Amino acid sequence: MAETAVRVQSLRKTYGDRAVVDGVTFDIARGETFALLGPNGAGKSTTVEILEGYRRRSGGDVHVLGVDPEGGGLDWKARLGIVLQTAGQAGTATVREQLRQFAGFFPNPRDVDEVIAAVGLEDRASTRIAKLSGGQQRRVDVALGIVGNPELLFLDEPTTGFDPHARREFWELIRRLQTGGTTIVLTTHYLDEAAQLADRVAVIARGRLRAIGPVAGLGSAEARVPIVRWIEDGRPREERTTTPLALARALGERLGDEPLGLEIVRPSLEDIYLTLVADDAPQAEEAAR
């Protein structure tokens, strides 16, 4: 069994009589990329803040790198990297100056120039951060998160506001970190991002864990049943079936030719996610107000 980096057992966080995290349990193995998904107000941000040691829990057990976050000291915090959704780098500092400053906060930092190369900013190392593009500034955020040589990296909505090209480049950066053995906890609203990067995903809705597992196996067997779509008599048709190829052949025999618009669609992570949180949309909207 892989060594555990994070262990969460029956986690609860309440405010008065309202439970925002209600009995959540999961483990994260070392070297794993684990995506935590859920609508606004679902409890995922609260869960991550408890793991990071920023928020106290109301109940349950939590261990991160073998330490209870509520008692984690500076030596434990130095083993973490945290990339927030928004950061406040000193815009007047250059990339290299900012990284050197942050590297000085850690007992065993990575080489600054190696980190700059890892995030693809070699040609911007002497550029003031305020002069960088949004995507390049996000790379600085990640560089600051990994310069301390963390064992565990938290990424909160890392590609919000990125254009498609910048997102793809950022994914490649995360894959390089994965290859290096960094454990990553990812929160994102981009489900294709979770599908691309995560070894496993967990879906939280209304404070409770609704599903957990590899992307390909998430959700119930019924939710993963393929859909066959075609056009017949000028009208779109579709049918869920566990034998999509057999249905496609039967359609061809009945209609005398390959049906117009025939396609077999396997439910995506987004399809399954929306099924899991469908009943929670009104509560999520209310919590976000």
Question: Residue 205 sits in a domain of what CATH number?
Answer: 3.40.50.300
* Total structural domains within the chain: 3
Considering the domain architecture, whether residues 119 and 59 belong to the same structural domain is answered as: no
Considering the domain architecture, whether residues 34 and 92 belong to the same structural domain is answered as: no
* CA dist., res. 118 & res. 142, Å (int): 10
Considering the domain architecture, whether residues 11 and 61 belong to the same structural domain is answered as: yes
Considering the domain architecture, whether residues 145 and 159 belong to the same structural domain is answered as: no
Of 185, 204, 220, the last residue of a domain is 220
Of 134, 149, 164, the last residue of a domain is 149
Considering the domain architecture, whether residues 167 and 197 belong to the same structural domain is answered as: yes
Backbone angles phi, psi at 196, to 5 degrees: -75, -35
- Which pLDDT belongs to residue 136? 86
- Which pLDDT belongs to residue 286? 41
* Residue span of the structural domain in which 9 resides: 1-79+151-220
Considering the domain architecture, whether residues 104 and 189 belong to the same structural domain is answered as: no
Considering the domain architecture, whether residues 68 and 168 belong to the same structural domain is answered as: yes
Element holding 83 (H helix, E strand): strand 80-83
Considering the domain architecture, whether residues 72 and 203 belong to the same structural domain is answered as: yes
- Give the DSSP letter of residue 100: H
Helix (H), strand (E), coil (C) string for 233-272: CCEEEEEECCCHHHHHHHHHHHHCCCCEEEEEECCCHHHH
Considering the domain architecture, whether residues 67 and 162 belong to the same structural domain is answered as: yes
Of 149, 178, 200, the last residue of a domain is 149
Considering the domain architecture, whether residues 168 and 72 belong to the same structural domain is answered as: yes
Task: Answer yes or no: are the C-beta atoms of 14 and 58 closer than 8 Å.
Answer: yes
Considering the domain architecture, whether residues 121 and 6 belong to the same structural domain is answered as: no
The 10 Å CB-count burial string (b at 16+, else e) for 173-205 is: bbeebbeeebbbbbbbebbebbbbbbebbbbbb
Q: Note the pTM of the prediction, 2 decimals.
A: 0.79
Mean pLDDT by 10 residues, the chain (289 residues): 87 94 96 92 92 95 96 94 76 92 93 90 94 86 91 89 80 88 92 92 92 82 83 90 90 84 84 76 43
Considering the domain architecture, whether residues 172 and 240 belong to the same structural domain is answered as: no
